[in-house]
A and B are shown apart, each in its own frame.
Chain A
Amino acid sequence: MSEKTKFWMLAVLLALSIGLLVYLFQATQNAPL
């Protein structure tokens, strides 16, 4: 696997991780308790 392909895979993983964190910030703030 080329380094450039690895870069895109890692970039997608990082975006997903940050997306999950942002979602959790939002979801827990508006949780019933």
Chain B
Amino acid sequence: MQDRTWRKINIGLLVAIVLVNLYTMLLPAIPALRYWWQAGHSKTKVTATVEQYVKATTPQANSEQSTPTEDMSGNRLIIPRMLMNTKIVEGPTSNPYGNLKKGAWRLPFSSTPDKGGNTVIAGHRFTYTESRSIFYYLDKLQVGDEIGVQWNGTTYTYKVVSTSVVPPTETSVQAATDDNRLTLYTCTPVWNPKNRLVVVAKPIGVNE
């Protein structure tokens, strides 16, 4: 083969190397750009109350926001600040990876909103197969933000009282509590997920 042909092949290889590595490096940041865009342009504001957000994201109320085929049944977690209205996944602790792949997983040994105590929901922050994992935006939550849990037809509303970063050995965040609370947690930071980002919310209302 001529030198010129080799040079063309080499340029092609170089472009492929640059593209593959750019993809590898930039994929974790793409959801952050998406949030910036969505938060600024979505009809539903990130500062909406749970009630407003549920109305805006149910297919009957606004067909543009949700496709008619979207399954809105079951127990759901609603967080306007994270532009999220998602199904709560139930599953055994023997299959954590399988449950986390499906979405926001309520830890089966934790409580439920109707029983009081500590309801714990965990989710992935980032995976290469699904870059905007369910709790990618958990760091956007601020003290005072509303979180809703639709549980067996009743909507429980919570207000964020604290956000913290703890080491993965700090399992006390999952422990049962005397008070009624909702604990959400995921990995942090996105690029080097060595710690856990924990959000604790306290109940402020129940809507039958």
CB-CB contacts below 8 Å: B1-46 with A:
3, 6-7, 9-10, 13-14, 16-17, 20-21, 23-24
Q: Mark A1-18, 1 if CB is under 8 A from B, else 0.
A: 001101100110110011
Q: Are A3 and B101 in contact (CB under 8 A)?
A: no
With a CB–CB cut-off of 8 A, which chain B residues contact A30? 97
A22 to B121, CA, bound (A): 29
Q: Are A14 and B16 in contact (CB under 8 A)?
A: yes
CB-CB contacts below 8 Å: B44-84 with A:
none
Given contacts A14-B16, A29-B101, A32-B187, A24 and B128 within 8 Å (CB-CB)? yes
A1 to B6, CA, bound (A): 12
CB-CB contacts below 8 Å: B94-123 with A:
96-97, 100-101, 122-123
Q: Are A31 and B193 in contact (CB under 8 A)?
A: yes
**For chain A, what secondary structure do more than half of its interface residues adopt (helix, strand, loop), or is it mixed?**
helix
Given contacts A7-B6, A14-B17, A32-B96, A21 and B24 within 8 Å (CB-CB)? yes
Q: Which residue of A lies closest to B168 (CB)?
A: A32
Q: Which residue of B lies closest to A3 (CB)?
A: B6
Given contacts A3-B3, A6-B10, A28 and B23 within 8 Å (CB-CB)? no
Q: Is B132 an interface residue (CB 8 A)?
A: no
Given contacts A13-B17, A29-B101, A32-B187, A7 and B129 within 8 Å (CB-CB)? no
Q: Provide a sorted-by-A list of 20 A–B residue pairs whose CB atoms are within 8 angstroms.
A: A3-B3, A3-B6, A3-B10, A6-B6, A6-B10, A7-B9, A7-B13, A10-B13, A13-B13, A14-B20, A18-B20, A20-B24, A24-B24, A25-B127, A25-B129, A28-B129, A33-B122, A33-B185, A33-B187, A33-B193
